[in-house]
Amino acid sequence: MPTVLSPSEALEQFSEVVERASLGEDFIITRAGRATVRITRSEPASPNRRLGLLAGRIRLAGDFDEWPEDIARDLEIL
C-alpha cells in the first residue's frame, strides 16, 4: 500500500521520499484530501524497443489492407 503524504510533508522529506521510491516504495501526494500525484520508481526502457528494429526482416502481404468482400459488404466499406 502506498504511503500518503501532503505536499508539505513530501517537500520536507523529499530526499527520503526519493530514496525510498528508488527502492520500490510508492507514494501518493494528496491535495485537499484527494490523490493528485504518484511517486514511484522509474524503470529503464528496454534496450531492444526502438523504431525500425525489425526493418527489412518483416514483409507484409500485398493485400494486407484489403478486406474480404463479404466482410467489407457487412461493414459497408465497399
The pLDDT score that the predictor gives to residue 48 is 66
Q: What is the pLDDT of residue 77?
A: 84
78 or 45: which carries more pLDDT confidence? Answer: 45
Give a yes or no: residue 21 inside a domain: yes
Q: Look at residue 77 and tell me if it is in a domain.
A: no
Reported as a single tens digit per residue, the pLDDT across 16-66 is 999 999 999 999 999 999 999 999 999 887 776 677 878 888 888 888 888
Asked if residue 51 belongs to a domain, the reply is no
- Does residue 65 lie in a domain region? no
Please count the structural domains in the chain: 1
Domain assignment present for residue 60? The answer is no
What is the CATH classification number for the domain harbouring 10? 3.40.1620
What is the structure's pLDDT at 34?
Answer: 94
33: in domain: yes
Give residue 17's domain range: 3-39
Q: How far apart are CA 71 and CA 78, in angstroms?
A: 9
Whether 23 is in a domain gets the answer yes
Q: pTM, whole model, 2 decimals?
A: 0.56
